[in-house]
Chains A and B, each alone.
Chain A
Amino acid sequence: MSDALLANLLSPAVLFFALGVAAALVRSELKFPEALYSALTIYLLVAIGFKGGVALAEAGLGRVWLPALAAIGLGAFIPLWTYPVLRWGGRLAPVDAAAIAAHYGSVSAVTFLAATNYLAAIGQTYESHAVALLAVMESPAILVGVVLGKRAGAARGGPPVPLGLVVREALFGRSIFLLLGALGVGALCGPAGMEKVGAFFVTPFQGVLALFLLEMGIVAGRRLEDLRRVGPFLLGFGVVAPALNGALGVAVGTAVGLSAGGAMLLGVLAASASYIAAPAAVRLALPEANPTLSLTAALAITFPFNLTLGIPLCDAFARWLQS
């Protein structure tokens, strides 16, 4: 276990992330152009979506629907237990508790990518079509969290935003659209298509991910100074919630018949917190919520935790559970 932990900490992905954090801490002028960030995001989502689609074509939908249902249920359940903990345990305002619960139930694609990277590095096999779980698990928690927040608090003024807009934002944010689109393209092309684009989408993948994590390190590092503003409860929550959700995800994944690698990926999805899709939808639906709280917890606490410790922990738990 400690070997795996060390190997993860010394992987290019984690080290480049740390380099990015260091760059932010020493206030280096290192900065990625916005266009490069967008390009890397598109590459990563298309690459993982396409690969998952090809795997889906080979596995068939019959093997995916049960884990997908489990992922949706898990996403919807996480805000239901985290909300009361945040609300009464953390004494947060109802709307802030709902917003944070939505972030934690939703998922982080980068964390998922780093987890597949980890599995590849240690030679553990997994269901490549698990990326379908990433796609379906992004929205349910956002919708549940928004409903929780709407029930709890009156709007702070201004006309209410139509729920349709919120649903559209939650279901068709650009990342989901791209991921599902690439999944569809991959499923239609199948292995023959993979032969044509594999050199571009598979081989350079790890390098691109490392580069992206360098940028993510800068983004996370620049928010570390907000840690002072979120308080000790949220700091603890940002570590304990992913650990519990990760264990829950691994257990559910095992129960629905995923391999150790697949169950680990579902665990990582459950452990991860969204910092792209959830903020956009929550900002629209619950503008009264303080974005500093949810974003700092998701980006500056939980994301680094998962990247360094959460991923190997989920893997170890999955192996133990299935041994």
Chain B
Amino acid sequence: MNLHPMKLVTIVCEAYAADAVLRLLAEVGASGHTSFPVEGSGARGRRLADIPEYANTQFEVIVRPELATLLLQRLGAELFPRYAMVAFESDVRVLRADKF
């Protein structure tokens, strides 16, 4: 089995930021994403997600390593100042490199 190294970028943000995150993903050229509603707590306390408008969203996107760097840089510069969010990358290996 031939596995290819890729980066998994995870973004957890308030739901208000979701549109901006999606636009950024498209701009840097990510070929897809997965998102789901989440709740939890962070440095600023509980993040209540009791109604959809106040919800939090987690995005997961698999990209080539150079794209992951670009994505995180732009997230940091453009969206971190505006919205409550965290983002990180991790190493993953995928079966079909041409999909990403």
Which residues from 266 to 295 on chain A have a C-beta closer than 8 Å to any C-beta of chain B? 276, 279-280, 283-284, 287
Other-chain contact of B50, A157, A158, A159, A218 (Cβ < 8 Å)? A218
Q: Would you give the 0/1 interface string for B35-62, flagging 1 where the beta carbon is closer than 8 Å to chain A?
A: 0010000000000111111110000000
State the Cβ distance, B57 to closest chain A Cβ, in Å: 13
A158–B51 CB distance below 8 A = no
Is the beta-carbon distance between A34 and B37 smaller than 8 angstroms?
yes
Does chain B have a CB within 8 A of A74?
no
Q: Are B52 and A37 in contact (CB under 8 A)?
A: yes
* Structural contact, A219 and B16, CB atoms closer than 8 A: no
A158-B77, A222-B48 as given contacts; A287 in contact with B53, CB under 8 Å: no
Contact yes or no, A284 B51, CB < 8 A: no
Asked if A38 is an interface residue, CB under 8 A from chain B, the answer is: yes
Chain A neighbourhood of B16, CB < 8 A: 279-280, 283-284
B82 to chain A, nearest CB (A): 4
Distance between Cα atoms of A287 and B19 in the complex (Å): 14
Q: How many Å lie between the Cα of A155 and that of B54 in the bound state? A: 23
In the bound complex, what is the Cα–Cα distance between A276 and B16 (angstroms)? 11
Contact at A280–B53, with CB atoms within 8 Å? yes
- Given the interface pairs A283-B16, A284-B16, the reply to whether A34 lies near B81 with Cβ below 8 Å is no
Chain B residues 41 to 96 lying within 8 A of chain A, measured CB to CB, are 48-55, 77-83
Instruction: Flag if A31 contacts B78 (CB, 8 Å).
Output: no
Residues of chain B within 8 A (CB-CB) of A218 are 50
Report how far A157 CA is from B77 CA in the complex, Å.
8
Q: How large is the interface on A (under 10, 10 to 19, 20 to 34, 35 or more residues)?
A: 20 to 34
Whole-angstrom distance between the Cβ of B87 and the nearest chain A Cβ: 14
Residues on the A chain within 8 Å of B55, using CB: 34
Q: Which residues of A contact B81 (CB under 8 A)?
A: 156-158, 287
Q: Mark out the residues of chain A between 13 and 61 whose CB falls within 8 Å of any chain B CB in the assembled complex.
A: 31-32, 34, 37-38
Interface residues of A in 200-220 (CB under 8 A from B): 215, 218-219
B7 nearest CB across to chain A (Å): 23
Q: Check B51 against A34 for contact (C-beta < 8 Å).
A: yes
User: With A280-B16, A284-B16 known to touch, is A219 a contact of B50 (CB < 8 Å)?
Assistant: yes
- Contacts of B78 on A, CB cut-off 8 Å? 158-159
Cα separation A32 to B52 with both chains bound (whole Å): 11
> Which of B51, B55, B77, B79 neighbours the largest number of chain A CB atoms within 10 Å of its CB?
B51
**A38's contact among B52, B54, B77, by CB below 8 Å, is which?**
B52
Please give the residue numbers on chain A whose beta carbons come within 8 Å of chain B beta carbons, in ascending order. Answer: 31-32, 34, 37-38, 156-159, 215, 218-219, 222-223, 276, 279-280, 283-284, 287
In the A-B complex, the 10 residue pairs with the smallest Cβ-Cβ separation, listed nearest first, are A157-B81, A287-B82, A283-B16, A158-B78, A158-B81, A158-B82, A156-B81, A219-B50, A37-B51, A276-B53
List 12 other contacts, CB 8 Å, given A37-B50, A218-B50.
Answer: A31-B50, A32-B50, A34-B37, A34-B52, A157-B82, A215-B51, A219-B50, A222-B50, A276-B53, A280-B16, A283-B16, A287-B81
